[in-house]
Structure 1
Amino acid sequence: MKEITFYQCFRENILNGSKTITIRDDSEKDFKIGSIIDVFTFEQHQWFAKIKILAVTPIQFSQLTEMHAQQENMTLTELKQVIRQIYPNVEQLFVIHYQLVSTDDVNER
């Protein structure tokens, strides 16, 4: 089964549903629509959720909008800064839309 990692600082936003997309580069675009993916923290590789991939859409950095920022639970300025820190000089990106399926919350099990 495929997996995806997120920085720890995004964990709560994923779990509470305020972050519903992730923007990645070409190396992480090959998720199959409908697949269930294990989600781990980047820093400690700690599992915390499963997500269902809903869509993978190509986008240019210059095409990012407030809508994308809202789906990432940040401002457009913050989103562009984060993306540039992670992917400096990358113009071709991919928006991965996902839905939370299960979490590490014991009340969810």
Structure 2
Amino acid sequence: MDKITFFTKLERQILSGKKTATIRDGSESHYLPGQVVEAFTLEDDRKICKLEIIGITSNLRGIHNAWHFCFYFKFSVYGTMF
């Protein structure tokens, strides 16, 4: 299963369902709608939950003209989607 990381300070927002999107650069553009990934904290590599990627908006221009992708996700715990 693929892995995605978030800053620890975002963990509560992810678990509460308030954070439902993330913007990533081209090096993390391999995620697909319907794909389930495990979310971990960036700082200490602690597992947060599983997320299902439900949509992708690509071709966003970011800082210094780098290509960025916005991934929309829904939260799941221990494999149960809701």
> Percent identical across equivalent pairs?
30
The equivalent of 1:60 in structure 2 is: 61
Alignment correspondent of 1:15: 15
Q: Which amino acid aligns with 2:51?
A: I
Please state how far the C-alpha of 1:90 moved relative to its aligned partner. 4.9
Q: TM-score with structure 2 length normalisation?
A: 0.86
Letter in 1 for 2:21: I
Tell me if 1:24 matches 2:24.
Answer: yes
Q: Which runs of 4+ in 1 moved over 6 A?
A: none
State the number of aligned residues.
77
The amino acid of 2:34's aligned partner reads G
Structure 1 unaligned regions, length at least 5: 62-87, 104-109
The residue type equivalent to 2:67 in the other structure is: Q
Which has the larger share of helix?
A: 1
Given the alignment of the two structures, is residue 96 of structure 1 paired with residue 71 of structure 2, yes or no?
A: yes
Evaluate the alpha carbon distance shift between residue 89 and residue 35 of structure 1 in structure 2; reply closer, same or farther with a 3 A threshold.
same
The root-mean-square deviation of aligned C-alpha atoms, in Å, is 1.4
Q: Between Structure 1 and Structure 2, which shows a larger proportion of strand residues?
A: 2
